[in-house]
Amino acid sequence: VVVKLVNDSYGEEVHQLLARHNLAPALYGYARPEGAPAAYVMEYLDENWRSLFDLLRRDSSRPFHQAIYASLQRALDLLKEENLVHGDLRSNNIMVRITDGEPQIKIIDYDWAGKAGQVRYPAARNESLDW
């Protein structure tokens, strides 16, 4: 398992929705103790998972792009149906595992996720990251 500590908001509703459809790591539970960071316990993605960013950087000619796109479209459709947003859906937050030539995706990082029109980006972003 992975335990993620969060001082600010976390889109557990978005994470749970996508996890129910196997498009995010399973979210096993969370605790929000007063005066301490919230703790989210989730599925660990092993070394067979790579970010889409890394996968595309290594080999952009792979034949499974359509399957990845279809999975991402499914995730976006699920979010739209529930009026939810991820807020940081970029290639670094899309994990991919190829098994027997078939890609599977899991979306990670729900710090900016939540109800559309209610969640906000932070005032300052880390500009040293590839956005």
pLDDT, one tens digit per residue, over 30-84 is 999 999 999 999 999 999 999 999 988 887 666 788 899 999 999 999 999 999 9
Angle at the Cα of 104 (from 52 to 31), degrees rounded to 5?
Answer: 85
State the number of CA atoms in the 13 A half-sphere of 69 facing the CB: 6
Does a structural domain hold residue 100? yes
- Note whether residue 130 is domain-resident: no
Does residue 120 sit within a domain? no
Considering the domain boundaries, does residue 129 fall inside one?
no
**Has residue 122 been placed in a domain?**
no
**pLDDT tens digits, 73-107:** 999 999 999 999 999 999 999 999 999 889 999 99
Judge whether 8 lies within some domain. yes
Q: What is the CATH number of the domain that holds 93?
A: 1.10.510.10
With beta carbons less than 8 A apart as the criterion, state whether 104 and 55 touch.
no
- Whether the model clears a pTM of 0.85, i.e. scores above it, the answer is yes
Domain that holds residue 94: 2-115
Residue 92 belongs to a domain? yes
Domains in the chain, number? 1
| DSSP tag of 2 | E
Residue 98 lies in a domain: yes
Sign of CA dihedral 44, 52, 39, 126: positive
